[in-house]
Amino acid sequence: MNKKILYIVLSLVSVSAILGCRKDLLNQNPTEAPGVNTFWLSESDALTALMGNYSVFRPIFDRDYHFDGYGEFLRVWNVGVAPVKVAANTQSNYGGGAESTYTALYGSIINSNYVIENVTNRLLPNAKTEASKQNLEAIIGEAKLLRGIAYFRLISLWGDVPYISKAVRAPIEVDTISRLSIAKVKDSIYADFTYAAEKLPNKGSAIGRAGKPAALGFRGKLQLFWGSWKKHGWPEVEGFQQSASEAKTAFEGAAADFKRVITDFGLNLFRNGAPGEWGEMGKADVLPNYYYMFIPSTGNPNVEGEMLMVLTHGGVATNQSEEYMRVWTGPLVGLGQNQVVPRYEIADRYQSTVTGDFLPKMIQMNPSTNSTARTTPNSSVNPDSYKDRDYRMKATLLWDYEKIMGLGTTELTNYVPFIYNTWGANVVIDGVSYTTFTDNTTNQSGLQSRKFVRNYGGLSRSNGDYNWPLLRLADVFLMYAEATNEVSGPQTDAIALVNRVRARGKLPALAASKTASPQAFFDAIEQERIVELFGEGQRSFDLRRWRKIEEVFGPPMGPGKWFQDSWGINRQQAFFNMNELVYQRCYVFQIPESERLRNKNLTQNIPWR
């Protein structure tokens, strides 16, 4: 583990911090770790250390949208910013570009260990009341939850990994450790999640603080992934064996945990899962409820409890706000830089609110060479082609002649229409003059983001107090449906939960044909995961655990997949003439060679030897 990261980790526990972050802890100079004679004397010290743990953990996961860049529906133009960089701007060459993630995950784990060890050994034995004991156990539980999530990410990307379960005070203590089998690491993660589920309160004490539902949700997700790996195999992980019986047991355990989250805590979908209002085509003064779940002013309160676990940002004057405005939109909206752009291929995934099924694929037409393109029925550049579709489309995307609220540095300006390839043009729409959406050449799809883009002024792009969704109730609904389907096929309660997720898009219930077999129901679940969790970093992990990379991008040594824009122009080709090794390297990442140079006991994953 990088020595600088280790020293930062040890120093963080000495810095007074609160969740939501009132100081940029990650930019502080390393200092000596606090001595036990001046720290670890009270519950307050334990809480301060836990907040330091959250502060190290947060920047590893609050850019998870980068992982969607490995999939087929989102293009990511940058590779992240310090302290954690992820090479996510291609679909086929990313498994060797995550050294910073690997290092940062271990930094968070060491921090968790430091909290767990000191609270367990120094404070818990001296707890004077039962309330104090429970509070300290809950702090241990949160630290174990963070440790478990970090290890879960490690095994999801690297398979077998070194397992460190103690506080580390010098790099030499871990410079000879070997990799532990993924099965044993999985068992330790399960134990951490179990402790957290037993000791955490039903609801976190503040937004961003985890409760039992988060612990159970992640334990269920761990088992769901394990079931997927055991069902589909993971040949790139040395010694990993498929097992139908182990897969079934894991799916059953996942379903049981998800069921508890769904039934035991009185949680509900945001605004009761109601779709809200579409508003009008080409306008944005009214938007569906799904949009409001992801912006700070309306999403942060989390009254219904849809956000089972979020990563908070501090807002004004804290230097802790993740700049989603910069990443997800363009210059006329909060001085954005358009670093994350929906691919045109996502457009046809939004189903009809009339039939509840897919519509005919839109016809990609170039309006600069076809004068009727804007009026041709089902044309990709005809706004009418986007009518009567899943409300989540309106909340997630802009297409030609849709508007978004313009923002200057902090002030509202005027609505900005998106018209592909007209960047910064003056147009008249319904008798009103506008300047069209501007771009820095990164939009090559014909669609633009609305999800995660704030529509009110008063704050700069760096001051939004966003909650990044690490785990949502809708995701649990869909994972429960997947787990039960793997065990027993389509079940009535699971179908009802999928329909509740669909209802927020004002889609009718699934037709009988969509639940007639396990495969049909799985396809319906996958469809919901694509549109419901778009941009939240889930798609690439689904593709990998389902062994679907070849299905999406084509087999080795083939033409791969062209990504096109709304005009039908080829923009990017993925996996063209790539051999099998390239695919294998997507299924398991490279153990960083810098770590192997320092630690000769670290073996390398099969595809990277």
Q: What is the DSSP string of 531-570?
A: HHSTTTT-HHHHHHHTT-HHHHH--TTS--EEEE-TT--E
Question: Does the pLDDT of residue 49 top 90, yes or no?
Answer: yes
Q: Does residue 429 fall inside a structural domain?
A: yes
Q: Does residue 280 fall inside a structural domain?
A: no
Mean pLDDT, residues 479-496: 98
Per residue in 502-518, is it b (16+ CB within 10 Å) or e — as a string? bbbbbbeebeeebbeee
Report the alpha-carbon distance of residue 21 to residue 62 in Å, rounded.
Answer: 14
- Give the model's pLDDT for residue 322: 77
In 3D, which of 183, 145, 143 has the Cα closest to residue 163? 183
Q: Give the distance from CA 149 to its chain's centroid.
A: 13
More confident residue, 313 or 487: 487
Q: Which DSSP letter does residue 177 get?
A: P
333 and 228 in a common domain? no
Q: Which of 9-18, 446-455, 564-573 has the weakest average pLDDT?
A: 9-18
Q: Around Cβ 1, how many Cβ atoms within 10 Å?
A: 25
- Give the model's pLDDT for residue 605: 98
The band of 31, judged by pLDDT with boundaries at 50, 70 and 90, is very low
Q: Does residue 546 fall inside a structural domain?
A: no
Q: Around Cβ 407, how many Cβ atoms within 10 Å?
A: 27
Question: Does the pLDDT of residue 5 top 50, yes or no?
Answer: no
**Tens digit of pLDDT for each residue in 418-435?**
999 999 999 999 999 999
228 and 93 in a common domain? yes
Which neighbouring-strand residues pair with 309? Answer: 471
How many structural domains is the chain composed of? 2
Q: Which of 20-29, 312-321, 386-395, 582-591 has the weakest average pLDDT?
A: 20-29
- Give the model's pLDDT for residue 1: 39
Which neighbouring-strand residues pair with 563? Answer: 572
Collapse the DSSP code of 61 into the 3-class scheme (helix H, G, I; strand E, B; otherwise coil) and give the result. Answer: helix
162 and 95 in a common domain? yes
- Give the model's pLDDT for residue 82: 53
Report the alpha-carbon distance of residue 51 to residue 56 in Å, rounded.
Answer: 9
More confident residue, 6 or 495: 495
Q: Around Cβ 559, how many Cβ atoms within 10 Å?
A: 12
Mean pLDDT, residues 459-486: 94
Choosing from 461, 492, 508, the residue where a domain stops is 461
**Tens digit of pLDDT for each residue in 546-565?**
999 999 999 999 999 999 99
Collapse the DSSP code of 511 into the 3-class scheme (helix H, G, I; strand E, B; otherwise coil) and give the result. Answer: coil
Question: Does the pLDDT of residue 9 top 50, yes or no?
Answer: no
Q: Would you call the peptide bond into 83 cis, given omega within 30 degrees of 0 as the criterion?
A: yes
**In terms of pTM, does the model score above 0.85?**
yes
Check which CATH number belongs to the domain holding 141 and give it: 1.25.40.390
261 and 404 in a common domain? no
Question: Does the pLDDT of residue 13 top 60, yes or no?
Answer: no
In 3D, which of 180, 136, 148 has the Cα closest to residue 161? 180
117 and 16 in a common domain? yes
Contact 338, 443 (CB under 8 A): yes
Question: Does the pLDDT of residue 588 top 60, yes or no?
Answer: yes
Q: Which two tokens stand for residue 486?
A: 């793997």
Report the alpha-carbon distance of residue 95 to residue 587 in Å, rounded.
Answer: 8
355 and 232 in a common domain? no
Q: Which two tokens stand for residue 512?
A: 């009988």
**Tens digit of pLDDT for each residue in 303-347?**
999 999 999 988 777 767 778 999 999 999 999 999 999 999 999
93 and 242 in a common domain? yes
What count of residues does the chain have? 609
Element containing residue 55 per DSSP (H, E): helix 43-61
Q: Around Cβ 128, how many Cβ atoms within 10 Å?
A: 7
- Give the model's pLDDT for residue 465: 87
Distances (CA, A) of 191 to 216, 566, 601: 12, 49, 26
- Give the model's pLDDT for residue 341: 96
Q: Which DSSP letter does residue 120 get?
A: I
Report the alpha-carbon distance of residue 487 to residue 491 in Å, rounded.
Answer: 10
Choosing from 461, 494, 522, the residue where a domain stops is 461
Question: Does the pLDDT of residue 14 top 80, yes or no?
Answer: no
Choosing from 436, 461, 486, the residue where a domain stops is 461
- Give the model's pLDDT for residue 20: 31
Q: Does residue 24 fall inside a structural domain?
A: yes
445 and 377 in a common domain? yes
Report the alpha-carbon distance of residue 87 to residue 107 in Å, rounded.
Answer: 19
Question: Does the pLDDT of residue 166 top 50, yes or no?
Answer: yes
What percentage of the chain carries pLDDT values higher than 70?
93
Report the alpha-carbon distance of residue 524 to residue 398 in Å, rounded.
Answer: 25
Containing structural domain, residue 348? 324-461
- Give the model's pLDDT for residue 323: 84
CA contacts within 13 A on the Cβ side of 304: 15
- Give the model's pLDDT for residue 88: 60
Q: Does residue 301 fall inside a structural domain?
A: no
Task: Work out the angle at residue 346's Cα, subtended by the Cα atoms of residues 372 and 343, and round it to the nearest 5 degrees.
Answer: 85
CA contacts within 13 A on the Cβ side of 10: 18
248 and 356 in a common domain? no
348 and 234 in a common domain? no
Distances (CA, A) of 246 to 149, 161, 223, 302: 22, 21, 10, 36
Mean pLDDT, residues 211-224: 98
133 and 64 in a common domain? yes
Average pLDDT, the chain: 92
**Tens digit of pLDDT for each residue in 78-122?**
766 555 777 667 888 899 989 999 999 999 999 999 999 999 999
Q: Which two tokens stand for residue 22?
A: 């009132």
Q: Which DSSP letter does residue 92 get?
A: S
Q: Does residue 209 fall inside a structural domain?
A: yes
Q: Does residue 478 fall inside a structural domain?
A: no
Per residue in 331-360, is it b (16+ CB within 10 Å) or e — as a string? bbbbbbbbbbbbbbbbbebbbebeebeebe
154 and 83 in a common domain? yes
Question: Does the pLDDT of residue 10 top 80, yes or no?
Answer: no
Report which residue type is found at 383: P
Q: Does residue 448 fall inside a structural domain?
A: yes
H helices present in 119-210, as ranges: 130-158, 182-199
Q: Around Cβ 86, how many Cβ atoms within 10 Å?
A: 24
Report the alpha-carbon distance of residue 201 to residue 152 in Å, rounded.
Answer: 22
Contact 111, 90 (CB under 8 A): no
